[in-house]
Amino acid sequence: MCNRYHSPDEGYIQQYWRLNPRQLGLGARDVFPRSPGGFIRRAVDDPGYSKELAVGRWGLIPWFSKAPDIKYSTNNARAEEVADKASFKDPWKRGQRCIIPATTFDEPYWGPYEAQFKKCEWWRFKRADGDPWGLAGLWNIWTDRATGEVHESYTMLTLNADGHEIMGKMHKNELNPDTKKPLPLDHQDKRSVIPIELADVDQWLEGSIKDAQALLKLAPVEVFAAGPA
């Protein structure tokens, strides 16, 4: 699952996704879990439909959390589980979907490194066409009952990538509990981010749950330009 990505600058995000200019101050463009990042959502104060850029914590804070600095990881959410998982089901049902802009994202490739060096080699993923990624996500607003402070946050959706020629090779191999040897690649729960193409952004942000589910799919291999970081 993705734990590091590089964000485009604020002006480019607004231009590429055709947003109304807002000076938010995205800060650092290398984004890590629990750090602030930008995300595009349906504008919350528009009774019609428009898009806006927001800034929040990468790692969704669920409604039942007692503090904003939760200890467990919520920066990724399995798309197959969002309708039922307590941390994500309410934002999913409310249609709080977002686009996470990324110039690149990084994933660990083990491959021969796993056997030879007992560590991974980091790979960097760009789009082959040179455009930025628009990655599928969910967002939420959490309010501290003690202080009234409002916290924005978001999570990045992932999908099973078993068998995918590129994403199916990322992350550490899962072992057979009996033999302690790596399972075949098509029997492991390899994961991939979910790119939302520019033409599908409105469907993702404004559409019904059924509309959104139709976009939960892996990108073809030819979309990726990937290699050691």
User: Over the chain, what is the mean pLDDT?
Assistant: 89
Phi-psi region for residue 34, left (φ > 0), alpha (ψ -120 to 50) or beta?
left
Q: Find the mean pLDDT for residues 163-167.
A: 88
Res 16: pLDDT = 96
Q: Find the mean pLDDT for residues 144-167.
A: 93
Q: What digits encode the pLDDT tens for the residues 127-139?
A: 999 999 999 999 9
φ and ψ at 221, to 5 degrees? Answer: -55, -40
Candidates 88, 2, 97; CA nearest to 44 is 97
Q: Using CA atoms of 204, 206, 211, 212 in order, give the dihedral in degrees to the nearest 10.
A: 40
Please name the residue that has the structure tokens 């589980």. 81
Phi-psi region for residue 202, left (φ > 0), alpha (ψ -120 to 50) or beta?
alpha
Res 189: pLDDT = 74
Res 27: pLDDT = 66
pLDDT above 80 for 188:
no
Largest CA distance in the chain: 58
Q: What confidence tier does 69 reach under pLDDT thresholds 50, 70, 90?
A: confident
Q: What confidence tier does 185 reach under pLDDT thresholds 50, 70, 90?
A: low
Please name the residue that has the structure tokens 């995000």. 13
Helices (H) and strands (E) in the chain, counts: 5, 12
Res 4: pLDDT = 93
Q: Does residue 129 contact residue 193 with C-beta atoms inside 8 Å?
A: no
Candidates 150, 55, 160; CA nearest to 100 is 55
How much is the pTM?
Answer: 0.90
Angle value at C-alpha 180, between 178 and 186, nearest 5 degrees:
90
Poorest-pLDDT segment among 27-41, 72-86, 144-158, 174-188: 174-188
